[in-house]
Chains A and B, each alone.
Chain A
Amino acid sequence: MQIAQQQQGDFLVLTLEGELDAVTTPTFEAICDKLLEAGTRYVVLDLAGVSFISSAGLRSILILAKKLRPVQGELRFARMQAVVTEVFVLCGFDALFSTFPDVASAIVR
């Protein structure tokens, strides 16, 4: 799992590359915790490069979203592949989060 960071307007865009599963989520969670400590509030996850997500990946996303709530932050998604969308819908995550076809529309507040 590779994670690139880029500030775009109010949002920090995290571009994920690889699989979001039980093996890779500890790295993802550690990076997110650091960003939250540093004051990040608005996050877009660019998932164009994520080809697989398991319940461990969903869990880490939900944990991040829960941590952003008390600081009035927001978590959005861009460029989600159909394989990830399928798991999102199966687990009712599509109702929790806003998803966008591209990063440009995801960073508009």
Chain B
Amino acid sequence: MQHFECMSTIENISRLEKDVLTLAEKFGATDKTSRHVLLVLEEILTNIRLHAYKKEPGLIEISASLCDADIHLLHLEITDWGPPFNPLVDSAAPDLESDIDDRPVGGLGIHIVRNLTHALSYVRLDAAHADALAPLSGGNRLCLSIPLG
């Protein structure tokens, strides 16, 4: 299990994405699955930067490990300490069929994440889960796996 953390600035997030990508490649990610890892990270971390930490940058934590099942899976736990937000429930439903006029512009980020991951789940962390660095108000954790093979 490898742990990464940073404050949610654009520069830090870009570096964090590269670090996790380097790990995924070490675990055997192909060009294609590396792109999937980057896309999933970009969607989730951008969401945290723009919504969980709207006013000022806050702490993002990622735990990454390799699940060596039938296929290689990169397992990620991504945590922020912003207000409660469950993207699996609270995001707009994507509309993939309407024409340009009727198609809503929201919901695509979570649609991409759902489609490129396995076993996507959300948990709201209460203060008891918080570590020494985190505020006591609680946080949001997304757990997911991305096929690397």
Check if A55 sits within 8 Å of B109, measured CB to CB: yes
B131 contacts A by Cβ under 8 Å: no
Check if B50 sits within 8 Å of A55, measured CB to CB: no
Q: Is the interface of B mostly helix, strand, loop or mixed?
A: helix
A-B contact count (CB 8 A): 56
Q: List 30 A-B contacts (CB under 8 A).
A: A22-B42, A22-B46, A22-B49, A22-B50, A52-B35, A54-B42, A54-B43, A55-B43, A55-B109, A55-B111, A56-B46, A58-B108, A59-B105, A59-B106, A62-B100, A62-B103, A63-B105, A65-B100, A69-B100, A86-B35, A87-B39, A90-B111, A90-B112, A90-B115, A91-B94, A91-B96, A91-B111, A91-B112, A95-B97, A96-B103
| Chain B contact residues, CB within 8 Å of chain A | 10, 35, 38-39, 42-43, 46, 49-50, 94, 96-97, 99-101, 103, 105-106, 108-109, 111-112, 115
